């Protein structure tokens, strides 16, 4: 594999899930595969799980991870081609990506959307610029529109925890105080579309995700109807896609409660705002899979790194 920037880079999700489970059983089995190979992790945005689990994954494979917070610590990077750089940016991505490629055998990048300019966000200008100007494989650690390491993790977690051959999975919009990206929801949708599950999205009107991603997936605006007989409920806030980046509705009635969850398992990518997205009784119950999801981030990343190492 030469890159991992989308759930669509997974050729066979079922076999990837099985391979990730094998790595989880025996994380150090391939501890020499990445010897003398360097993974560069570049963060334009904050992170706890991605930053630590991706390093842990690299260490399990014998790689050397090096990490940089690009925003603030590095020179301001210019992404526009042909621009006269007489403003606040000091270094063009053409040099920056080429230079990082001298030090690293792979580059992982986190770059959230602006949520102001839909066209620019959808063009994935930061991630795509790294892919264009880096001479080594690029991994997304959450881009403007996708979070493929999270989506793969969520697929592994559902596979591990399902008692049914074809469970019912609900992606349920949740209230939030900030305008959040669509990336986690988009990658979860893409992962569920590849799995043998009954999948429904529930969100208030005005919050439908990009139809190019949701495709034929059912969208139910009545949360109670959607949650009926669910086996897994994935709560997540996202800002409006239609009225791009806006908060239209902070209706606290969409918070996930123990009563609404019923017998389902609860999922969230974290970080989660307690008693806004989901109540304490949900997060503190045995039905919550959020810590196992965070654990599985390591093995999802480890499989991605392994597949790229095998192809270097």
Ligand X SMILES: NCCC[C@H](NC(=O)CCC(=O)O)C(=O)O
Ligand Y SMILES: NC(=O)OP(=O)(O)O
Backbone angles phi, psi at 135, to 5 degrees: -100, 10
Is there a binding annotation on residue 273? Answer: yes
Tokens for 193? 């579309």
Q: Is 125 annotated as a binding residue?
A: no
Output 70 or 309, the one with its CB closest to ligand X.
Answer: 70
Strand, helix or coil for residue 119:
helix
Residue 150 near ligand Y by CB under 6 A: yes
Measured distance CA(205)–CA(199) in Å, rounded? 18
Contact between 67 and ligand Y by CB under 6 A: the answer reads: no
Instruction: List the one residue out of 181, 179, 138, 140 whose CA is nearest residue 7.
Output: 140
**Known binder of ligand: residue 49?**
yes
Contact positions with ligand X (CB under 6 A) in 127-146: 142
- Flag whether 268 is marked binding: no
What the block records as the tokens of 45 is: 């945005």
The Cα 31–Cα 59 span in angstroms is 8
Which of these ranges, 49-57, 68-76, 169-177, 237-245, lies near ligand Y under the rule CB under 6 A? 49-57
Q: Is residue 270 close enough to count as binding ligand Y by CB under 6 A?
A: yes
- Give the three-class secondary structure for 53: helix
Give CA–CA dist 261/279, Å, rounded: 11
CB 200 to ligand X: min, Å: 20
- Cβ neighbour number for residue 115 with a 10 Å cutoff: 19
Considering beta carbons, is residue 102 or 178 the nearer one to ligand X? 178
Residue 102 binds to ligand X (criterion: CB under 6 A): no
Q: Which is nearer to ligand X, 59 or 180 (CB)?
A: 180
Q: What is the CA radius of gyration of the chain?
A: 19
Give the closest residue to 267 by CA, choosing from 140, 113, 156, 141.
156
- Nearest Cα neighbor of 147 from 234, 56, 63, 29 is 234
Site map for ligand X, 272-301, x if CB under 6 A? -x----------------------------
Q: How far is the CB of 33 from ligand X (least distance, A)?
A: 27
Which one, 206 or 271, has the nearer CB to ligand X?
A: 271
**Could you say whether residue 48 binds ligand Y (CB under 6 A)?**
yes
Name residue, tokens 């999922």: 267
Q: Contact 174/235 with Cβ under 8 angstroms?
A: yes
Question: Does residue number 308 form part of the binding site for ligand X (CB under 6 A)?
Answer: no
Q: Please indicate if the annotation marks 48 as binding a ligand.
A: yes
By the rule CB under 6 A, 295 interacts with ligand Y: no
DSSP secondary structure code for residue 7 in this structure? G
Residue 48 contact among ligand Y, ligand X, none, beta carbon within 5 to 8 Å by kind: ligand Y
Residue tagged 């790689």 (tokens): 63
x/- letters, 177..196, toward ligand X (CB under 6 A) = -x-xx-xx------------
Considering only residues 243 to 272 of the shown chain, the ones binding ligand X according to CB under 6 A are 269, 271
Q: Which two tokens stand for residue 273?
A: 């705002």
Give the interface with ligand X as residue ranges (CB under 6 A): 142, 178, 180-181, 183-184, 269, 271, 273
Q: Annotated binding residues for carbamoyl phosphate, as ranges?
A: 47-50, 75, 110, 147-150, 269-270, 297
Q: Which residues bind ligand Y (CB under 6 A)?
A: 47-51, 142, 150, 269-271
């Amino acid at each position: 594999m030469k890159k991992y920037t989308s759930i669509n880079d997974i050729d066979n999700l079922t076999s990837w899930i099985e391979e990730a489970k094998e790595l989880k059983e025996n994380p150090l089995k391939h501890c020499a595969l990445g010897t003398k190979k360097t993974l560069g992790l570049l963060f334009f945005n904050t992170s706890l799980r991605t930053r630590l689990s991706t390093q842990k994954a690299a260490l399990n494979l014998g790689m050397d991870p090096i990490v940089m917070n690009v925003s603030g610590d590095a020179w301001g990077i210019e992404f526009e081609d042909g621009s006269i750089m007489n403003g606040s940016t000091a270094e063009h991505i053409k040099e920056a990506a080429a230079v990082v490629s001298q030090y690293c055998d792979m580059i992982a990048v986190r770059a959230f959307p602006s949520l102001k300019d839909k066209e620019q966000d959808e063009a994935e200008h930061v991630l795509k610029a790294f892919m264009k100007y880096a001479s080594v494989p690029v991994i997304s650690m959450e881009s403007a529109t996708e979070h493929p390491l999270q989506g793969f993790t969520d697929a592994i977690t559902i596979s591990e925890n399902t008692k049914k051959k074809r469970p019912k999975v609900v992606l349920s919009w949740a209230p939030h105080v900030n305008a959040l990206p669509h990336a986690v929801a988009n990658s979860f949708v893409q992962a569920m579309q590849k799995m043998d599950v009954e999948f429904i999205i529930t969100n208030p009107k005005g919050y439908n995700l990009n139809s190019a991603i949701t495709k034929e997936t059912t969208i139910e605006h009545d949360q109670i109807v959607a949650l009926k007989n669910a086996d897994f409920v994935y709560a997540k806030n996202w800002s409006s896609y239609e009225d791009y980046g806006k908060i239209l509705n902070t209706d606290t009635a969409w918070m996930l409660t123990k009563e609404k969850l019923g017998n389902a398992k609860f999922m969230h990518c974290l970080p989660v705002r307690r008693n806004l997205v989901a109540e304490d009784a949900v997060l503190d119950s045995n039905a919550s899979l959020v810590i196992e999801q965070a654990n599985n981030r390591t093995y999802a990343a480890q499989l991605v790194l392994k597949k790229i190492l095998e192809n270097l």
